Structure 1
Amino acid sequence: MGFLIRLLVNALALYLVTRVYAGVSFAPGADLLGILLAALVLGIVNALIRPVLLLLSLPVNLLTLGLFTLVVNGVVLWLVASVTALNVAGFGAAIVGALILTVVSWVLDAAVNALGLDGGRG
């Protein structure tokens, strides 16, 4: 049940980012399945590829006091956009979109936890 809630929260966060920021959008005609697929791919990329990217960029991340993580998050969003119905206007738009996605996901996670829908996490 926790996986399904996490997938729905990611999908809602992606959808909200496309509504708030014009640099990130879904392809015309994208349906709920396309949004859920993008959220699933985002979860997989965050679990498998993002840690490797963070490890490889560790020296730069240390020099920038962690700000390079924004660039890594932008790369992750750009990778997701390259294989799903998600469209990103450019690399700068990917970084801004990833930052907005982080904030929206954080707010939605807090709401899910406050409502007790998190499946006992806490």
Structure 2
Amino acid sequence: MTLLIRWLLLACALVLLTQWNLGVQVDNFTSAMWAALVMGLLNAFVRPLLILLTLPVTLLTLGLFLFVINALTFQMASSLLEGFHVTGFWQALLGSILYSLFGLVIDTALQRMMGRPQKG
């Protein structure tokens, strides 16, 4: 149940991002739900591979290259879906940062609502 609520809230967060004219566009809420699902799958399967392949660059930049990887996965989701559009790399970078912050807030709120102690 928590996974479904998280998915819906992340789709809402994506719709909220589109309201700020950051170069991220979602045609409708259904597209936002598909985009949230695809981004979740990319973050689960493709992102770890990208991190492993770019480990030397990530170490040289003291982890800042992870922002580039996040932007690339955000842009990759945009290229895979019809109703989700990102206009460029810098928009993908800003969108991925804000989307990650929304995800952090959503995860924290869900942990507190479900009565689970926070990790860490």
Q: Deviations over 1:11-30 (max 9, x none)?
A: 1221222223422111xxx2
How many residues of Structure 1 are paired with residues of Structure 2 in the alignment? 117
CA contact (8 A) 1:13 1:108 kept: no
Tell me if 1:93 matches 2:91.
Answer: yes
Q: Deviations over 1:21-66 (max 9, x none)?
A: 422111xxx2222111111111111111011011111100000000
The answer for the alignment partner of 1:23 in structure 2 is 23
Q: Percent identity?
A: 38
Larger displacement relative to structure 2 (75-84 or 98-107): 98-107
Residue identity in the other structure for 1:58: L
The answer for the alignment partner of 1:32 in structure 2 is 29
Q: Which runs of 5+ in 2 are unaligned?
A: none
Normalising by structure 2, we get a TM-score of 0.87
CA contact (8 A) 2:24 2:85 kept: yes
The answer for the alignment partner of 1:108 in structure 2 is 106
The 4+ residue runs of structure 1 with deviation greater than 4 A are none
Q: Which runs of 5+ in 1 are unaligned?
A: none
CA contact (8 A) 2:6 2:106 kept: no
Normalising by structure 1, we get a TM-score of 0.86
Residue identity in the other structure for 1:19: Q
